[in-house]
């Protein structure tokens, strides 16, 4: 039962995390491409050809979308797109045969580090909204991306900075293997 509950919470949480970071032009798509890239490398290193192919297809489709979603965006991902990407990445993290071949600690750390930015932003927003007495489900401008813009950075610089943060998390995840 614990495994089933944790799996459900993981998939629902990661799905929603990608929906939450879809708040600036190119942010969610770029983070998804970075995570797909790191997972692709891991899949190739562990001879998981099926997983590598799925990640390459997902990365390619999101990268093609990103060309038109980068500022100034001509198209938008929306809830359906961001939730599909989050669901796909959350599910692939669980379904991959790679974690089952390594040490238990790596099994826990790699997905958490690879998906560090979406998890961080979701936790930040959840804690801030609860502490302010607001429902977590009600939107707002309290995301890490909005906070960085309020500090004076341009949206493009914020997106690049958060892409870097996502890349550092993904690289740290690869180092745990």
Which of the four pLDDT bands, split at 50, 70 and 90, describes residue 20? very high
Which of the four pLDDT bands, split at 50, 70 and 90, describes residue 94? confident
Which CA distances in Å does 103 have to 3, 51, 110, 114?
Answer: 18, 20, 11, 17
Residue 5 scores a pLDDT above 60: yes
**Which residue has better confidence, 74 or 106?**
74
The string of DSSP codes covering 58-114 is: HHHHHHHHHHHHSSSPSS--HHHHHHHHHHHHHHHHHH-SSGGGS-HHHHHHHHHHH
| Mean pLDDT of all residues belonging to the chain | 91
Name which of 57, 70, 71, 89 is nearest 29 in CA terms: 70
Is the full-model pTM beyond 0.85? yes
Q: If you search the block for the tokens 């790699």, which residue do you land on?
A: 110
| Mean pLDDT along residues 143-155 | 95
CA 79/CA 120 separation, integer angstroms:
19
Task: Please report the pLDDT score of residue 108 as a whole number.
Answer: 72
CA 162/CA 142 separation, integer angstroms:
15
Task: Please report the pLDDT score of residue 95 as a whole number.
Answer: 80
Lowest mean pLDDT, pick from 2-16, 127-141, 144-158: 127-141
Which of the four pLDDT bands, split at 50, 70 and 90, describes residue 136? confident
Inter-axis angle of helices 27-45 and 78-95, to 10 degrees?
20
Residue 9 scores a pLDDT above 90: yes
Which of the four pLDDT bands, split at 50, 70 and 90, describes residue 106? low
Task: Please report the pLDDT score of residue 102 as a whole number.
Answer: 56
Half-sphere exposure at residue 140, Cβ-oriented, CA atoms within 13 angstroms: 18
Which of the four pLDDT bands, split at 50, 70 and 90, describes residue 1? confident
């Amino acid at each position: 039962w614990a495994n089933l509950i944790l799996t459900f919470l993981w998939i629902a949480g990661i799905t929603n995390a990608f929906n939450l970071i879809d708040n600036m032009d190119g942010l969610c798509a770029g983070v998804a491409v970075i995570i797909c890239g790191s997972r692709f490398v891991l899949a190739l290193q562990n001879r998981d050809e099926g997983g590598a192919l799925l990640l390459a297809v997902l990365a390619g489709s999101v990268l093609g979308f990103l060309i038109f979603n980068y500022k100034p965006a001509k198209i938008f991902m929306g809830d359906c797109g961001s939730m599909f990407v989050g669901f796909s990445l959350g599910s692939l993290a669980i379904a991959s045969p790679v974690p089952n071949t390594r040490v238990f600690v790596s099994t826990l750390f790699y997905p958490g580090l690879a998906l560090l930015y979406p998890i961080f932003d979701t936790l930040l927003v959840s804690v801030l909204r609860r502490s302010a007495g607001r429902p977590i489900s009600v939107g707002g401008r309290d995301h890490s991306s909005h906070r960085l813009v309020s500090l004076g950075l341009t949206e493009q610089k914020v997106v690049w900075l958060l892409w870097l943060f996502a890349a550092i998390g993904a690289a740290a995840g690869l180092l745990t293997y």
